[in-house]
Amino acid sequence: MADDAGLRLRLLGAPQISGAGAARASALLGMPKTLALLVYLAMAGPGAFRRRDDILARFWPEADTTRARNALRQSLFLIRGRLPDGALTSRGPDEVGLTGVGVDVAAFEATLADGRHDDAIALYGGPFLDGFRLYGESDFDAWVVLERQRLERRMVKSALAMARRSDIDDAASDRLLDFALEQAPY
């Protein structure tokens, strides 16, 4: 994830916030819709942006444009007030993103890209946003399910790749196979 001094989001498993500023930012864990928006921004990637229109459609599809924009402004205000200065950024009037916030999913995917399966397995803390749900928000919940499935597939492939390596013993290989079967029983 980001350096040890910065704010970090743990999204593999139950959501957690740690690092510098975590005491203040952890209040977002008790605000489901605001936390969901923070997660959605974080999952865009480091320094990446999400379009406000996309956010409005995903989080406030039932609201008229004026009410939806007001709700987004209020949520961004809450996030900005709980994160370190400069963490919530904008690019023009139409895009918003996060910077300087470490996300375990990004670290997990980077270790997989580097072929470091053992490190990826160590980073995997469980299903993406385990236990978190925005009731009545089918768009966001559907997105979470797709992300969860994508990350679980990557984890299973990583465990299987490790189990096939010739430099690990049979017991370790069996544990990895059991782990993969537990994650994807079908």
pLDDT given at position 1: 46
Asked if pLDDT for residue 174 goes beyond 80, the answer is: no
Nearest to 42 by CA among 133, 141, 147, 123: 147
Q: What is the pTM of this model?
A: 0.87
Q: What is the mean pLDDT of residues 62-71?
A: 94
68 touches 56 (CB < 8 A): yes
pLDDT recorded at residue 107: 95
171 vs 95, higher pLDDT? 95
How far apart (Å, rounded) are the C-alpha atoms in residues 76 and 96?
Answer: 9
pLDDT for position 47 = 86
Nearest to 119 by CA among 150, 148, 162, 153: 162
Query: Is beta strand 7-10 parallel, antiparallel or unpaired with respect to 101-103?
Result: parallel
- What pLDDT is recorded for position 41? 97
Residue 21 neighbours by CB under 8 Å, 6+ apart: 7, 83, 84
pLDDT value of position 185: 61
| pLDDT recorded at residue 153 | 86
* pLDDT 10s digits, 120-148: 888 988 999 999 988 776 689 899 999 99
Q: 50 - beta bridge partners?
A: 96
Report pLDDT for 165.
67
Helix-strand-coil split of the chain, %, nearest 5: 55, 10, 30
pLDDT tens, residue by residue, 16-57: 999 999 999 999 999 999 999 999 999 999 889 999 999 999
pLDDT one-digit tens code per residue, 85-124: 999 999 999 999 999 999 999 999 999 889 888 888 889 8
